[in-house]
Every structure is written in structure tokens, then in C-alpha cells.
Amino acid sequence: MIARKVALPPGMMIRTAKGLWTTLWQRMMAQLAPADPTGHYQRPTSQFRDWIQPESPHPPAPHRYSLIVGMGCPWAHRTLLTRALKGLEEVISLIPVVPSPDQGCWAFTTSFRGCHTLPELYRQAQPGYSGRATVPVLWDRQTASPVNNESADIILMLNQAFNGLATQPQLDLYPEPLQADIDAWNDRIYATVNNGVYRCGFAQTQAAYDQACAELFDTLAAMEAVLTTQPYLCGEAITLADVRLFPTLFRFDAVYYGLFKCNLRRIQDYPALSRYLRAIYRLPRVAATCDLAAVKRDYYGNLFPLNPGGIIPAGPDLPFLRDDPGELG
């Protein structure tokens, strides 16, 4: 007698698959994006917070320091922007890493100090280290140690501590008269835009998502109003507030709009923000820090809980990469 194959009823299949996937998704998200009890994403703090300064273990010097960066990472991008704007390309070298989808970490494109992944280097520098191995990292080649892995600190050091070695020393991205204004924007941008898009994409409850999304688009609207009357957030010149905002805007329409559910409006739908984005992109040496292919590959190809199939979309078309300023209005 031949046994008949019995198919599961569609309803049972759906409920079983949904239950299994939800359990796995929650476990993966707990590692990728830890949340508080209400489902709000909580970004872990950086662990290495030393400073470049004279008469310290890490004094400013040419060819001594490197930036470990992933081209898809917005936090690393702000350090690349500052390095480019200040003209520090010949002073501070780059060590590239790429996300490893199977290992779930950053991996070196070429072995560095005998390490193949960034977690290995972190543990080599600090035996027993069990925290997250993130980019960017400002690395001291002479002491073979990380100086700092907090991007907000690194861009300040690139602007100030390395100014004597820069080819653009006249460009001060954190001028004293504007520091209060810059700091106020930085606080709001970090909470609602830089980290805000992640709070949308990594939210684990509807209420957490709704709150993050509302705050994100409130801030975009506020910046649109400001940029209607002036070229940069703090006036007539680019500052660290703009450096911290640009990487998120650059990725917004291509990644955050769809993958992170930030889809109330595109940056292209804001005339002033669009002009602002293009203006910064067209500044000398900035475009070289922008790798849209890497951004899409890293996000869509490696954030498995958000895109299990790993399919990378063909679009969108981004006018600021090609259009004349007038065409963006």
C-alpha cells in the first residue's frame, strides 16, 4: 500500500511559518538591534574614547593614523567627509572593511595585523573584549591600538587636532561663535535623523515605529524650512552639523525610504533639502567619499532580518547625482 502525501492546510502552514520566523526574527534583532521593553531601538555606546592631542600617548602626526571604514556605513562616512573637506587624505590613510553576511561582522578586504575580521582586531587590541566591533575606528599604527571608535569624537579631532597637517586649515567646521547652534542641531539630528532612521527600521513594536517616524519627518520639515533661507544648517558655511547630516540624507531615498520604512516622503520631495544635498555632494573631494553601490549592497545584502532574500533593488534614480541645481527646485 502506497502512503499518500498529506499537504498541510495553507492556514496551518502560514501560522507555523509565521511563528517560527517571528521567533527567529526576534532573536536576530536582539543581537543586531537591541531594544528597550517597549520595542524602541537602543544604540550601544562606543567603547574606545581616547583623544588625539599634543603631549599625550596619541599626538597628532602625519602617516601615523588610519581610519578603519566601511563605505556603506553612515557613521564612517562622516569621518571620510571630514577627512576630505579638511584635506587630510595624505595624512591619514584608510583601511577598508566590508560586511560579512555569513559571519555578521565587518571583515578586512586584506588581512590586517593577522586579523581577518574587525572583532579579531578589537580582541587583539583589548584581550577579552566582548562588545560590538563597529566602524569607524581611528587606529594608531605606532602603538597598534584603537584611539577612538566614536564618529562624533573622530570628526572633532580631524577638524581640530589635525588642523596643522591639513591642506585646508582655513576651513573650521566647528567655529566657536556657532558651536551652540551646531551642538543643538547635532543633538536633534542624532536622535531623530541619524539614529532616527534606525529607530524606524529596527523598531520592534508599532508604537515605537510610529514615534520614531513622526520625529524623523518633523525634523526633516524643520530643516527644510531653515534651508529655504540659507545654504547650510548654521548659516553661510558648512559645519559639523552638515557633516553629520549628509551621510543620512545621501542614503535616504536609496535605503531608508524602503528598507527602513521611512516612506512618508523622499528627500527628492523636499526642494531645499534636495538642493542642499546636491550642493554638498558637489563640493571638492566629497563625491569620492560616496559609494552608492556599496551602500545598497551593504544594507540590502547584509541586513538579513530586514531583507531575507538579499535582493538588491535596481533603483532609485537619484537626481542630485546628475542634475543641475535649478532642476532640483
Active centre residues (catalytic): 73, 198
Cα–Cα dist 192/216, whole Å:
5
| Beta sheet of 115-117, edge-to-edge order | 115-117, 105-112, 93-100, 65-69, 137-140, 145-148
Q: Provide the residue count of the chain.
A: 329
Cell of 313: 533593488
- Cβ neighbours around 275 below 10 Å, total: 19
Radius of gyration, CA atoms only, the chain: 22
Tell me if 310 sits within 8 A of 101, measured CB to CB: yes
Cis preceding linkage at 57, omega within 30: no
Number of helices (H), then strands (E), belonging to the chain: the values are 10, 6
Cα–Cα dist 201/209, whole Å:
8
Is 231 buried (19+), middle (13-18) or exposed (0-12) by CB count in 10 A?
middle
- Cβ neighbours around 169 below 10 Å, total: 12
Beta carbons within 8 Å of 35's beta carbon, 6+ residues apart:
29, 41, 42, 202, 203, 204, 208
